[in-house]
Amino acid sequence: MARIGVVGIIIEGDRSHANKVQSILHEYGEIIVGRMGIPDRQRGVNAISVIVDGTNQQIETLKNKLSEIESVTVSVAMTGVEV
């Protein structure tokens, strides 16, 4: 069963980390409903929120792949409703 959730991503540091995140998000494009990114160049931090609609396994795998990237912090909030 699919669930709707939000994946919050914080990227600190150079642009190469952001490129890796973008690559993984592209790989999981089929479960991404929408996303918003806010770069803070002054502080060297990027924040991305991603709305997802997928199975628990798909979303957990996405989170784990993103978490493996250096200087990336990931958090997931899920709805309790399965669709």
Q: Give the whole-angstrom CA distance, residue 74 versus residue 83.
A: 24
Return the domain boundaries, the chain.
Answer: 2-82
Q: Which CATH class is domain 2-82?
A: alpha beta
pLDDT of 83 strictly over 80 = no
Q: Angle at which helices 56-67 and 15-27 pack, to 10 degrees?
A: 160
- Please indicate, yes or no, whether the overall pTM of this predicted structure exceeds 0.85: yes
Per residue in 21-76, pLDDT (tens digit) is 999 999 999 999 999 999 998 999 999 999 999 999 999 999 999 999 999 999 99
